[in-house]
Amino acid sequence: MEHLRWRPSVNEREFIESALQSDLRVDGRHSFDFRKLKISFGREDGSSEVQLGETHVLGYVTAQLVQPYRDRANEGTLAIFTEFSPMADPAFEPGRPGESAIELGRVIDRGLRESRAVDMESLCVVAGKHVWSVRVDLHILDNGGNLIDAANIAALAALSTFRRPECTVGGDDGQQVIVHDPEVRDPLPLTIHHMPIAVTFAYFGEGNIVVVDPTYKEEAVMGGRMTATINSNGDICAIQKAGGEGVMSSVVMQCLRIASVKAADITSKIKKAVDSYTTEKALKKVKRLPASLPQKVIVTDVTMEDKGDDELETQTVKTPSDAQEKSKGTHILKEFH
């Protein structure tokens, strides 16, 4: 259920619209300027935090082995889930997701999954048996407007730093999957072909006034909205228009040209943040490789019998086999039911 959304007064509405007609916005930006973007990461791989102006979104990626769909036996899956905190906006309530949460998830899912941004075939372990199912959770902490763009950036940043455990297949039947511990084998990153960036435009009046990255107050006044998901190469991945009056094709084409430029800029910022995170993590990672380690000795039983003068008889002393040592840090999965 959604209610108590901020509604501007007549004077506030007139002030915002008159400022836009003069190519001015309440926060001082021009029509096609984005707010300040800040991208940071958590301690664990696959966690991101994005602040776009006053909009605050957390992203977190997890993965598990599942059985694939029958019609796509050699492909993994990717799913987007959104959660709106009641503290983010008075219109949000805990429990069943509202229309905004459903729409947000669908727009981001359409841009990421249907554009084949993530290589699904690389998530296959055993065709028809075991594939990786990647889940992206997006938590809205503060709604300062334009949730779609901020959540989309959070999802891409989290996917770019996510690492899944390495798997090997063995056993007599070739169906036994061994999931290696990250301490034994380095986890593997996802294969991301391109970054579909969502760029949202708000229309005012009869569609003659267009701005990018609308704020919370501008969304309450706007007459319509369009989100163009496009990558840095200029390829259009998805377009979604949410209600409002119709917009001329010339205006739409202008928005797509602007979106292409903005997408390249945001992609560069995401990659720069990811590279900085990866470098910092590599510097913090200390690998201890001692020249020699004392061998673990397991004494099963030692007996001493009196054989006369100074003769002693002992039983065999056993040491761990190589197979036992190699088995550490692995999880064996035989069958999924």
pLDDT, position 330: 52
Residues 6+ apart with CB under 8 A from 226: 200, 201, 203, 239, 240, 241, 242, 247, 252, 255
Q: What is the pLDDT of residue 281?
A: 87
Is CATH 3.30.230.70 the classification given to domain 10-284?
A: yes
Query: What is the pLDDT at residue 93?
Result: 66
Q: Tell me: pLDDT of 107 over 50.
A: yes
Which of the two residues, 211 and 285, has the higher pLDDT score?
211
pLDDT digits (tens, 9 = 90+) for 192-229: 999 999 999 999 877 678 999 999 999 988 888 999 99
Percent of the chain with pLDDT over 90: 47
Query: pLDDT tens for residues 42-67?
Result: 988 999 999 999 999 999 999 999 99
> What pLDDT is attached to residue 242?
78
Q: What is the pLDDT of residue 75?
A: 94
pLDDT digits (tens, 9 = 90+) for 120-172: 999 999 888 999 999 999 999 999 999 999 999 999 999 999 999 998 887 77
- What is the residue-averaged pLDDT of the chain? 82
Return the percentage of the chain with pLDDT > 70, whole number: 80
CA 311 to chain centre: 69
- Return the closest-CA partner of residue 118 out of 150, 165, 156, 149: 156
- The confidence band for 238, taking pLDDT boundaries of 50, 70 and 90, is very high
CB atoms within 10 A of CB 58: 19
Q: Cα separation of 8 and 5, whole Å?
A: 10
* Maximum mean pLDDT: which of 98-102, 181-185, 189-193, 284-288: 189-193
Contact call for residues 65 and 336 (beta carbons, < 8 A)? yes
pLDDT number for residue 97: 66
